């Protein structure tokens, strides 16, 4: 769907909880939000979260926002509050091997589907961040920057991000040469240097061009405008 169902309207100043309130006024509940973390990383798993928050004050999570806008400590506090307050929540971890096998977009959609399916409470409506997710069995709305405008998506983003960050810190203990605890598997100059020096680890995603270059499977292109373009995933 590209718009809210009939009877549900949201004022511009409705705030982070406006979409859920509008849907409840239209008689549509419970409402779940889903989001992922790690799609753009070239190492480690993809993690998806799903969350249903209760209505009223019980569902207002102190400090909740898009997980990317929060500090690590603030995310951890928000995570604890989401887990405590949620009517239902779930987290799905998709390994780097499955990401390589499916491709990132397909893996992303599959992870979001699984997260919704794992909720203990079946939602009547699902809000997704960025693009629609079919195959979830209920109507929904894809929202541009949904993790910044809908509380349930923000809560799902926190669940996914905190879970994935913890996994990457654990992987840092197994593969300390790559400093996963700092960059969480995303592409940074330090990560690129470690890849060049040591080659890919078993937890790197081989579909990413920079990883394939480090493994000697792709040619190194000339530098353009001071840097090369190594972030893209191969088809």
Annotated binding site for a divalent metal cation: 35-36, 129
Residue 124 — left, alpha, or beta (φ > 0 → left; ψ -120 to 50 → alpha)?
Answer: alpha
Show the tokens assigned to 207. Answer: 């579909």
The answer to whether residues 109 and 132 touch, using CB atoms and an 8 Å cutoff, is no
Encode 71-102 in three state secondary structure. Answer: CHHHHHHHHHHHHHHCCEEEEEEECHHHHHHH
Nearest C-alpha neighbor of 68 from the set 133, 154, 126: 154
Which residues are known binding-site members?
35-36, 129
Angle between helices 151-174 and 72-85 (to 10 degrees): 120
The answer to whether residues 127 and 141 touch, using CB atoms and an 8 Å cutoff, is yes
Range list of H helices, the chain: 18-25, 72-85, 96-102, 104-117, 146-149, 151-174, 180-183, 189-198, 209-214
């Amino acid at each position: 769907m590209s718009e809210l169902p009939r009877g549900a309207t949201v004022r511009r100043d409705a705030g982070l909880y406006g979409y859920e309130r509008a849907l409840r006024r239209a008689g549509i509940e419970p409402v779940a939000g889903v989001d992922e973390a790690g799609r753009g990383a070239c190492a480690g798993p993809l993690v998806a979260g799903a969350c249903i928050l209760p209505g009223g004050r019980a569902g207002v999570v102190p400090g909740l926002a898009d997980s990317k806008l929060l500090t690590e400590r603030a995310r951890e506090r928000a995570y604890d509050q989401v887990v405590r307050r949620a009517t239902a929540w779930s987290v799905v971890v998709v390994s780097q091997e499955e990401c390589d096998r499916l491709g990132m977009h397909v893996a992303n959609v599959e992870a979001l589907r699984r997260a919704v399916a794992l909720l203990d409470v079946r939602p009547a409506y699902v809000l997704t961040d960025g693009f629609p997710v079919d195959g979830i069995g209920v109507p929904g709305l894809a929202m541009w920057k949904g993790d910044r405008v809908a509380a349930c998506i923000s809560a799902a983003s926190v669940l996914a991000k905190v879970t994935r960050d913890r996994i990457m810190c654990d992987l840092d203990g197994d593969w300390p040469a790559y400093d996963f605890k700092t960059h969480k598997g995303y592409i940074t100059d330090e990560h690129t240097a470690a890849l060049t020096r040591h080659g890919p680890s078993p937890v790197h995603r081989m579909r990413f061009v920079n990883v394939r270059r480090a493994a000697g499977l792709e040619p190194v292109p000339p530098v353009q405008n001071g840097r090369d373009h190594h972030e893209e995933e191969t088809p």
